[in-house]
Structure 1
């Protein structure tokens, strides 16, 4: 096998990283998952997104500190190995791959829901099967234009959300609608108050709210192999507060002002539902096209990201060597095939339990995502503790609020995981997560534990590792392009 196919080249530009990172927060979690969080907390969900966003911002600043100081292709998987030990690195890497699989299940499920807007009589599982086969097959071809494609798809989503917010504000200010219910910001407090379900509703909404931010950590992976990480990482991370306010808080505030929060349901995207209920059919149709494009972009990124992550782990001896097999176009065909096989489970689940599948999948994804975030924080804490005062002073992009911000954020993440146990719909996520971590630990001690330098690698892989280290790094940043 050729050590470095020509298509596996380094080098996302700054605009690619910025918009791929921006697009990571604009997708299923916003377009569809927000309906579940609105149902749980009502208008108070806006506060939940601000709190959750602040926690994620600190996670990304902690990751950015390590990535600027020590940029590497493996990003947080490598940092967990370096600062917390090989077991932590093994679990973190595979849990991130697991996260990509579960998130993709959520994305294909959302795609089926969106198609129901036009074809309500067609069973959802048919659309899920179709998108898995089509997008999966596309990932078997050359991916050299992946970064550019994702840039334009992310830009399209950003433009669409900004246009939706502008249209919503115009409707509120000028009364441009033909609906039969009150439109105005007073909807945020007139229907049971800002906290219609009390503090409990706010707390329970975090199970879905944190899922929405999943994927933002890919900034560390994409920028880890960038040509100028000292500029691209801070630039991408510093955009996080803006996108939280603009694409979540402001967008959902407009949605709940256009239509009372209790009218939002999980039958489709709340963005499409609102404009449809206002009698603006053309806007609803356009938005449905947008959310479908967003879902396709997410599915494409998820399949590609999981494939490249497993490919990279195989290079490090943390996965079977067979996962390094590539097509002539440079696509890791075996890992893509594994992803397609895993996604067929989504077809079965959408056939057996279409009503509850999204909440279950999103809560499992929340467990995997929050676990990875915790490992990022713990790795950064361990890294800082090994530094002298002089070394800490020389950090080019230090995380703020050290060390109390990290401690509070770790406690918050633990609280989110515990929260999953208090709802029958999300409890299965905690059980699956615990079983997953136990399984990985067992596999590590049976197979993955290094016994000597280079252990776990085949002789061929061991020889290739030297060649790989001297060659241009694999395009892992594109591979891990964030899911919308």
Structure 2
């Protein structure tokens, strides 16, 4: 092994697209959606549509920067360049924190899923097993990781499509003794807004957790074979697919059985089919949600490792985090993630009943904070550009600047919402303490990374030829991406 190795550009468009899906379509859909349904009733479908639109603007903002400046640290590095080293330090470490917390939620859900078959086995045993297995998976080369994540994600996407078709068949043909099944369940059991405007608004605190992980697209830019093609392709396809998967699947679930029947004791997917008497379908879906959890954990460990690697490059994290294996994997950061996830084993031993909701609400704070910083960073980057530079962008954000203003206001609103629920206010407290600790660590640590230059986009007034010259120098130094892989 060598510390002078570099991250390998082994990810093509197919890998990046499914890595992002793997991180986003996981516990938030297969398990966490039960909480959002209980909070808003059928109106949660509208909440997912609105939340998905806001996340799309975040991803387009990130995509604009990632195509212009692909790097391993992604939005942590962009925040350093355009908002200052303190912002970059806080953003990078908060994203790593987010990935740890999201992983804790995912491994907890894995333990819940295994309880479907082995109700007598303590949950923490399954949590420990999955942490060790997925941690080992992340030590493979990035190309092997990309292929593995592609197939894991493909399994759950295919299962979602099959579930939608099977659910539609039950609704139309009445298979499985579904006496209460019918699309009218979306408006006859207390109305579409079953808990009124309050329940609808409060549900966003849970709904936004489901979209967490889509920003991993920016993290993969440093290992993409052709960022200019791979990133736009992934960004443009992911939000629509995520929204369709969430809205269609949850609409089917709430049509098969009144939404009040979803208990949250397990995956609502499995619960519904089991309650309809379709036992074999419930068992198959349990396999799928287990695969989904493995896929999400896999993606999150990958993302946290790459963001910490990028921070180490900017001297905002210990140099040991730059150590790579021969396959170009930041092995130290993977080990750190495994150690952090062992906390999940303890939590599931101490407080198995409440751990998921507490963890997911904290993850929502970290996720939305990172999204907010991505939006603010992109705004700052745009303001530094001349009109000519803005016109030359290869993947500009749409609806500029009004879309950014709306998205920023929305993210701030979601953070405020966390204070108005007895189950989520702790997330705001933990988040505030976390940000204060980071600010203190930055000052006491001698302002790490503050002395580094901020190359980023060409300074205002710089000509296009100067920008091209900078790109040529990067290619000459060997940092340019390899030729594109045409297997999309």
Q: Do both share a fold (TM > 0.5)?
A: yes
Q: Cα 1:220–1:248, aligned 2, differ >3 Å: closer, same or farther?
A: same
State which drifts further: 320-329 or 229-238.
320-329
Q: Aligned to 2:424, what secondary structure does the other structure show? A: helix
Q: Cα 1:333–1:24, aligned 2, differ >3 Å: closer, same or farther?
A: closer
TM-aligned CA deviation for residue 330 of structure 1? 4.6
Q: Which residue of 2 aligns with 1:66?
A: 65
Superposed counterparts of 1:379-390, under 5 Å: 379-390=377-388
Which runs of 5 or more residues in structure 1 are unaligned? 456-465, 476-484
Q: Distance in 1 between matches of 2:143 and 2:378?
A: 33
Q: Which residue of 2 aligns with 1:184?
A: 182
Q: Which residue of 2 aligns with 1:247?
A: 245
TM-aligned CA deviation for residue 263 of structure 1? 0.5
Q: Distance in 1 between matches of 2:415 and 2:364?
A: 8
Q: Distance in 2 between matches of 1:334 and 1:235?
A: 31
Q: Distance in 2 between matches of 1:435 and 1:473?
A: 40
Q: Distance in 2 between matches of 1:127 and 1:185?
A: 37
8 Å Cα contact 1:303/1:339 also seen in 2: yes
Q: Which residue of 2 aligns with 1:32?
A: 31
Superposed counterparts of 1:199-210, under 5 Å: 199-210=197-208
Superposed counterparts of 1:49-60, under 5 Å: 49-60=48-59
8 Å Cα contact 1:62/1:376 also seen in 2: yes
State which drifts further: 332-341 or 285-294.
332-341
Q: Which residue of 2 aligns with 1:299?
A: 297
TM-aligned CA deviation for residue 129 of structure 1? 1.8
TM-aligned CA deviation for residue 247 of structure 1? 0.5
Q: Deviations over 1:294-335 (max 9, x none)?
A: 111222222233223222322221111122334455543432
Superposed counterparts of 1:308-327, under 5 Å: 308-327=306-325
TM-aligned CA deviation for residue 448 of structure 1? 5.2
Could you state the TM-score of these two structures normalised by the residue count of structure 2?
0.90
TM-aligned CA deviation for residue 468 of structure 1? 13
Q: Which residue of 2 aligns with 1:193?
A: 191
Q: Deviations over 1:80-117 (max 9, x none)?
A: 11110011011111111101100000000000000011
Q: Which residue of 1 aligns with 2:457?
A: none
Q: Aligned to 2:41, what secondary structure does the other structure show? A: helix
Q: Cα 1:203–1:449, aligned 2, differ >3 Å: closer, same or farther?
A: same
State which drifts further: 331-340 or 97-106.
331-340
Could you state the TM-score of these two structures normalised by the residue count of structure 1?
0.90
Q: Cα 1:448–1:109, aligned 2, differ >3 Å: closer, same or farther?
A: farther
8 Å Cα contact 1:10/1:473 also seen in 2: no
Q: Deviations over 1:124-165 (max 9, x none)?
A: 112112222332244345554101111111111111111110
Q: Which residue of 1 aligns with 2:463?
A: none
Q: Distance in 2 between matches of 1:141 and 1:233?
A: 23
Q: Distance in 1 between matches of 2:342 and 2:328?
A: 24
8 Å Cα contact 2:305/2:337 also seen in 1: yes
Superposed counterparts of 1:405-444, under 5 Å: 405-444=403-442
Superposed counterparts of 1:15-414, under 5 Å: 15-140=14-139, 142=141, 144-179=143-178, 181-327=179-325, 330-414=328-412
Q: Deviations over 1:20-56 (max 9, x none)?
A: 2233321111000100100100100000000100100
Q: Cα 1:304–1:474, aligned 2, differ >3 Å: closer, same or farther?
A: farther
Q: Aligned to 1:415, what secondary structure does the other structure show? A: helix
Q: Deviations over 1:278-302 (max 9, x none)?
A: 1111111111001101111222222
